[in-house]
Structure 1
Amino acid sequence: MERSVGGTEYSWCRTVASGTGITVLTILLSRPPEPAALEKALRRIQSRHPLLRARLQWGDRGPCLSLSPEPYLSVEVVDSSETSVVLRSSDAGDPFHALLEHELNRNSWRETRIETPAELFFATVYRLPDSRAVVALRLHTGICDRASAVSILRNVLQSYGAEAAGGTAAGDREGQNGNEEAGEVPGAIEEMVPQEKGRKPFWAHGVDLLGYSVGSLRFSNLQFRDTTSTRASRVVRLQMDRDETDRILKACKERGGMTPSVALAAAAMKAANFSKEEPRPQVESYAVVTFIDCRTILDPPLQLDHVGFYHSAILNTLRVNSQEEVWDTAERYFNALTNSMRCNKHFTDMGDLTFLMCKAIDHPPATPCSSLRTSFLGVFESPIIDDDDGDKWRQEIGVEDYAGCTSVHGVGPSMAFFDTIRGGRLDCTCVYPWPLHSREQIEQLVLNMKSLLLANI
């Protein structure tokens, strides 16, 4: 069973080859997992979600997804001495942080055209010198958006926890999840766009493509540090305590019910403007790409845990005044995003944005300093809410921390935010291309963001 990739999936095939679009989930455990039990749990998850056991290959009509009838995943185990070699080569400081960055830069899909079928799902266990371990799951973003990653993470914790305890998790007893079928390759998002919401006249496509292209020449960016060296993805985490998170959520609610990601984006734009050397520009235009999970509004609608790439994107350009308060900037961005969604731009502009992304890969000089930066920021419309800190399976297997994000060092934004509200605390993983931007530069930007958000609430 196979099918050709959809337009969005094809764009990820192009971007992953360039370095952007490697999705990684890392789990820090207080003790090493049993590899055989973990592999059995992961294969059980593969069997329930067809795309997780698909392979990518090129046929006469271009790339296609070929469904393997049986789960194929094998767990790679890296002993503590080999892990130490990886850790010594990193400047991240924290081992969990260092291994997350290491996995973001392991590219199994480096070639644009894959001649032999390529697996899309990998699992590695890193044994740490202090007897703890990190489980890393690495996936091709063409089959795994953020919602899929969250679903996979929860399934892994439950399935492996049950396997380690000698039982069966609830999800395993239920068999198939949502409306995925074991013997079918799920359709691409383009096939499920509601007809009445996806219509766009031919000339409108041309006008919008021209507008996006010309408009990009006016975009402001975070200052580049090194535009010539080989790039990799690096990570900085923005974390807040319960009180700080409550204050931000309250401020969002008071301003029309905006999501924390809107506030984070506004703070990032203000902080970027603030970081410019004197004389600081009074007004700058920043491009923000907002990713929207479309599962519930497709035709037919999909379950929230349906695995695949079913996000669309909206590109908004915001003029940021250095004298304006950050929450006023957030309100303007929220209004612009709401209006774009009301006009169904997340459906009508889907093909335009994927086309422009592929053109940027083909013509790097069309981007600022050939940086392949297509926007300043990438955010998600809504955060992930995780209140399962007391989940028995997490306690059973000794989960201490986890993180999930996607690489950005090929084509894409200067920063991508993956925000979660975990146990009432905001935890945002910020991914950026290094050394295009330095770690010190992004760490300072994140500190300024936090100060701006908490200053007047």
Structure 2
Amino acid sequence: MADPTAAGRRVGGTEHSWCRSVPGGTGVLVLGFFLSRPVPRPLLESALHRLQTSHPLLRSRLNTAGPDQPFFSIAHSPSLTVRPLSASDILQSPPASPSHFHALLEHELNENPWSSPAPSHPILFATAYDDMPEAGRTVVALRFHSAACDRTSAAAILKELLRLIAGSTKEEEEEGFHRAMEDLIPKQDAWKPFWARGKDLVGYSLNGLRTSTLRFEDAGSDRRSEVVRLVLGVDDTQKLLNACKAREIKLCGAMSAAALVATNSSKHLEKDRAETYTVVTLIDCRKYLDPVLHDHSIGSYHSAVINTHNVHGGEELWEVAERCHESYSNAVHKKKHLKDITEINFLLCKAIDNPQLTPSSSQRTALISVFEEPVVYDSSELQQELGVEDYIWCASVHGAGPSIAVFDTIRDGRLDCAFVYPTPLHSRKQMQELVEHMKTILTQGSLNGGD
């Protein structure tokens, strides 16, 4: 439950895993939006200060100096300063990315203040880019530590921040400071015998050792995160959703299956040969907690379900999607998203400490990570008034993590996905080809309801 008077607390288990991951390059979460007109810096800072006042975690610092577990310390009042930068100082000519907004997003994903040895850092940084090649345009980028902000939080923050920039005078009640996810899971849902934990830990470890990956292009060089975007039109999106509904399969199952089929196809395997891949499904646990939290409860409240799948050359989208959905659904039915949090956090930290245990010391722990549900986000009159032309939220993955991290949104009826990947482990050309193949698999598999 929330404690509005709390001055801070120690991080929970999942938050601690993010504290281990972020310095290495996985978990820098960026919320960026592209505006058709400038935003006065005092107005933006005022809106962000009101946001921090409503959500104490956003004005906290993450302290890592002591020998004990890191902790959040909450400042009494907001003090965030928006850093102004000239986009022309960052952007390359010619641009390596599809758009200037895209290039600035990638730049932000690879700015990592938490990798420095300072004893404490804010969990939120803000930058406003002006002097864009497109005259009069502005890009605002908020950079969060994933221990304090997940995808659900980012979506809620965008809505609230735009309303504040527009000049809302509504007084927001302070949210209070919630306890860590593990402390809010009902005991009967989290409990399992000690021997079962050991058995599951061994099972996860053995499965991880026998799984395949997307082909590596350069496993020896320093890495950064890049993004490829997949967008389906309204008609194609509706056909895909209808095909999923007809089979009682969630979109995450179809997305995972498309990645598995496309990856297997890229290896040109014979039909009788199978390879095993790992899929991570991220689940927003707010509705499973006691008390139940809402989407605007800021923090890190996602857990993971890990499944492995054998895929043969020549398999079709829906036969793989059904297996993906069944495996994930069975795990959720058994409450493994609540019971296995400790084991999964332990394995992630082991991959960070011992990269040699992962293929080619790549720190790849899965082929793909997907969210259980997409964010549904429709444009509003407020966005049009402010001149919001584009927005995106995603997180870096060039430390320990999957080869592909999918951040999916259905906005105005269109499926819009950001695929984040580590480069040069995977190249932009390789990932663009893979994503284009996934798009073809999804659209062709959805024709006539996927029959």
Which interval holds the TM-score relative to the shorter structure? over 0.9
Is 1:133 aligned with 2:138?
yes
Report the equivalent of 1:365. 356
Report the equivalent of 1:434. 423
Contact 1:241 1:426 in 2 (8 A): yes
Matched AA of 1:283: A
Is 1:212 aligned with 2:204?
yes
Is 1:68 aligned with 2:72?
no
Report the TM-score when normalising by structure 2: 0.94
Report the alpha carbon displacement of residue 62 of structure 1 after superposing the two structures with TM. Answer: 2.6
Report the equivalent of 1:236. 228
Matched AA of 2:290: D
Report the alpha carbon displacement of residue 60 of structure 1 after superposing the two structures with TM. Answer: 4.8
Report the equivalent of 1:13. 19
Report the alpha carbon displacement of residue 81 of structure 1 after superposing the two structures with TM. Answer: 3.7
Contact 2:268 2:313 in 1 (8 A): no
- For 2:422, what is the secondary structure of its paired residue? strand
- For 2:9, what is the secondary structure of its paired residue? strand
Sequence identity of aligned pairs in percent?
47
- Structure 2, gaps ≥5 residues long: 1-6
Contact 1:261 1:419 in 2 (8 A): no
Report the alpha carbon displacement of residue 190 of structure 1 after superposing the two structures with TM. Answer: 0.6
- For 2:159, what is the secondary structure of its paired residue? helix
Is 1:42 aligned with 2:52?
no
- For 2:166, what is the secondary structure of its paired residue? helix
Report the alpha carbon displacement of residue 353 of structure 1 after superposing the two structures with TM. Answer: 0.5
- For 2:171, what is the secondary structure of its paired residue? helix
Report the equivalent of 1:189. 181
Contact 1:383 1:420 in 2 (8 A): yes
Distance in 2 separating the partners of 1:253 and 1:279 = 32
- For 1:405, what is the secondary structure of its paired residue? strand
Residue pairs, 1:10-409, within 5 angstroms: 10-58=16-64, 59-82=66-89, 85-88=90-93, 91-111=96-116, 114-115=118-119, 117-127=120-130, 128-131=132-135, 132-162=137-167, 167-168=168-169, 172-176=170-174, 180-181=175-176, 185-256=177-248, 258-277=249-268, 282-387=273-378, 389=379, 391-409=380-398
Distance in 2 separating the partners of 1:357 and 1:281 = 33
Report the equivalent of 2:3. none
Report the alpha carbon displacement of residue 321 of structure 1 after superposing the two structures with TM. Answer: 2.1
Distance in 1 separating the partners of 2:314 and 2:91 = 45
Report the alpha carbon displacement of residue 93 of structure 1 after superposing the two structures with TM. Answer: 3.5
Cα distance 1:80–1:145, how it changes in 2: closer, same or farther (>3 A)?
closer
Contact 1:222 1:272 in 2 (8 A): yes
Contact 1:87 1:95 in 2 (8 A): no
Cα distance 1:421–1:330, how it changes in 2: closer, same or farther (>3 A)?
same
Matched AA of 2:206: V
Matched AA of 1:3: R
Distance in 2 separating the partners of 1:212 and 1:443 = 30
**RMSD of the alignment, in Å?**
1.4
Distance in 1 separating the partners of 2:54 and 2:434 = 42
Distance in 1 separating the partners of 2:271 and 2:365 = 23
Report the alpha carbon displacement of residue 218 of structure 1 after superposing the two structures with TM. Answer: 1.1
Contact 2:16 2:69 in 1 (8 A): no
Report the TM-score when normalising by structure 1: 0.93
Report the alpha carbon displacement of residue 331 of structure 1 after superposing the two structures with TM. Answer: 1.0
Report the alpha carbon displacement of residue 285 of structure 1 after superposing the two structures with TM. Answer: 1.1
Distance in 2 separating the partners of 1:101 and 1:313 = 25
Distance in 1 separating the partners of 2:205 and 2:405 = 21
Report the equivalent of 1:421. 410
- Structure 1, gaps ≥5 residues long: none
Matched AA of 1:175: E
Distance in 2 separating the partners of 1:293 and 1:81 = 38
Distance in 2 separating the partners of 1:81 and 1:18 = 28
Report the alpha carbon displacement of residue 305 of structure 1 after superposing the two structures with TM. Answer: 1.1
- Offset from partner CA, 1:349-383 (integer Å, 9 cap, x none): 10000001001111010000000000111110000
Distance in 1 separating the partners of 2:318 and 2:227 = 26
Cα distance 1:281–1:235, how it changes in 2: closer, same or farther (>3 A)?
farther
Matched AA of 2:443: L
Matched AA of 1:220: S
- For 1:175, what is the secondary structure of its paired residue? coil
- Offset from partner CA, 1:256-296 (integer Å, 9 cap, x none): 1x222221111000000000145577211110111100111
- Offset from partner CA, 1:124-176 (integer Å, 9 cap, x none): 011112221111010000000110011111111111122xxxx42xxx43423
